Structure 1
């Protein structure tokens, strides 16, 4: 077995390199500082973490538990995923049973409810009452992608922390550290490609690195794009500029390459168009026209329209405007 193959058979790196302490959480210095103050003063309120995937919400919750309880953290920390267990019975049974149990010398136990925005309205109402009932010996940490899906009575009982996408420098630094720990040779264009593909999601960057490390001795741009659901920004730019120049046939051929050769889905193309629009070598007017068409196409696809047909219509509209 080669060294590259051996790297793919060990631990999952997103768990192996999950920060154990709050101070090691990447990219959120202000949030980490406030959370460390709560822990240091032993004055932890209910918390609501909101933001996109892979930005440190679950990691922060687990790090708090480790710092509060030390080696006993697993016995005093209950993690539930609301997207799997979203009914009112979960709130009434599992949460209440854990909240009622003895807590062995600690002032409170922690219940971490991930993807809390997937809870039904009835379940959230029951949760609100449970938070009141067990406020003396239980602290809740709720995590969600969309805080507007959490009812106001719960939000008002929590200190709200909004986690934004991680900046590129934070992702790049963490990727470099893991590559060094694992003895992986990684090029700068490989790091840039991982940062671009991750789009602020640390999990995606680490998974991409682990997958790319199994493909050869060196992780470079080509290896990263080969295993991630992304293509080089230049390919997207070429397709768009070709359409804006009025050559619909050539632009359609480039779209076909992205969908068939690169294996991108319609949503992937839209995402990369949106992310890269302002980095293309286009004037402001052309960029605005592009974003307007991207928004229309994204909405139609989200409503169930045919992806290829809508993307071709987008390119046709850009080409017609060039005439």
Structure 2
């Protein structure tokens, strides 16, 4: 694949630990491990798109140089989550000697919280038996889903959500390199839809660049399958003012004309509740009911009916506030 057609997430992935943004304290400790070539088993936990996989790849490059792929195995545990994968592929790789005089091999298990309990217990034993020839790096969103015996064998690093300024810095660098006219409102829109996920932010920017060279918030919401926060707030404020019909028409526009998914609309309603000009107790009641509507939709209820019911509830709350 030529560079101009490359996926930007890979094209702009940092190759050195010092280039990873937003995780300074973690990166400093990892750099010490690499410099001393003394690496324990590692457990990376945290939300998606905040540098876990990138850090693992940078560790491999730091330890092995340009030939790092010969001593590095990457598996996605959500695809290969059973005990057979641990007993065969992982174990067979771990038991072989590292190549080129390296001190040990690296096995990176992404989404390791998807491993079954049996697979995790088998992995624990493998980590014990082959610690002389192999080190494990496990990445997960929820460390609580990793069994305690594995956690106790690892140095645990909790990656935090990326700050808005970190995402903005990376986006500006990519836009400059790709000769894009990235507007301020475009950056704010990307930060809004990405929710701290750098991978999503870069993907949205690349998708927007395929449509226009000048990227503003309108283009971002067009390619991200998200409504602008102003539209969602307007819909909820119409319901609060008692104009249920106009609020419903706004909802239909989001679902039908813009093609948004019902659960995405509900999640955005949840985000906008805190910015509504209503009393704190009313916000609490509203968030509580939105959680109930979300549960119903997950259980298979009709999304259009549930969203209209949510607007009806908001409208009733507005009428009570007026009386």
Same fold (TM over 0.5): yes
Q: 1:12 aligns with which of 7, 15, 39?
A: 7
Q: State the partner residue of 2:70.
A: 75
Determine if contact 1:8/1:211 at 8 Å carries over to the other structure. Answer: no
Task: Single out whichever of 198-207 and 38-47 deviates more from structure 2.
Answer: 38-47
Q: State the partner residue of 1:139.
A: 135
Residue 161, structure 1, aligned to residue 173, structure 2: no
Separation in 2 of the partners of 1:95 and 1:87?
11
Task: Provide, for residues 77-116 of structure 1, a one-character-per-residue CA deviation record: whole Å limited to 9, x for no partner.
Answer: 1001111111111111111111121213121111000111
- 1:90-129 matches, within 5 Å, as 90-103=85-98, 104-129=100-125
Determine if contact 1:8/1:214 at 8 Å carries over to the other structure. Answer: no
Q: State the partner residue of 2:296.
A: 300
Task: Provide, for residues 184-203 of structure 1, a one-character-per-residue CA deviation record: whole Å limited to 9, x for no partner.
Answer: 11111111111111111111
Residue 87, structure 1, aligned to residue 88, structure 2: no
Deviation at residue 321 of structure 1 after TM alignment:
2.0
Deviation at residue 9 of structure 1 after TM alignment:
6.0
TM-score, normalised by the number of residues in structure 2: 0.94
Separation in 2 of the partners of 1:149 and 1:239?
38
Q: State the partner residue of 2:29.
A: 34
TM-score, normalised by the number of residues in structure 1: 0.94
Q: State the partner residue of 1:3.
A: none
- 1:189-268 matches, within 5 Å, as 189-268=185-264
Residue 48, structure 1, aligned to residue 43, structure 2: yes
Task: Provide, for residues 279-317 of structure 1, a one-character-per-residue CA deviation record: whole Å limited to 9, x for no partner.
Answer: 344442332232122111111112221111111111111
The alignment yields a C-alpha RMSD, in angstroms, of 1.6
In structure 2, the residue corresponding to 1:183 is in which secondary structure? coil
Structure scoring higher RCO (CA < 8 A, sep ≥ 6) equals 1
In structure 2, the residue corresponding to 1:298 is in which secondary structure? helix
Separation in 2 of the partners of 1:320 and 1:178?
47
Separation in 2 of the partners of 1:127 and 1:22?
27
Determine if contact 1:20/1:66 at 8 Å carries over to the other structure. Answer: yes
Deviation at residue 251 of structure 1 after TM alignment:
1.4
Task: Single out whichever of 174-183 and 249-258 deviates more from structure 2.
Answer: 249-258
Determine if contact 2:87/2:122 at 8 Å carries over to the other structure. Answer: yes
Deviation at residue 12 of structure 1 after TM alignment:
0.6
Residue 59, structure 1, aligned to residue 59, structure 2: no
Unmatched runs of 5 consecutive residues or more in structure 1 = 1-6
Runs of 4+ in structure 1 displaced over 6 angstroms? none
Determine if contact 2:239/2:312 at 8 Å carries over to the other structure. Answer: yes
Determine if contact 1:111/1:139 at 8 Å carries over to the other structure. Answer: yes
Task: Provide, for residues 205-245 of structure 1, a one-character-per-residue CA deviation record: whole Å limited to 9, x for no partner.
Answer: 11111111111221111111110021110111011111122
Separation in 2 of the partners of 1:14 and 1:281?
39
Count of equivalent residues: 317
Residue 275, structure 1, aligned to residue 271, structure 2: yes
Q: 1:172 aligns with which of 156, 165, 168?
A: 168
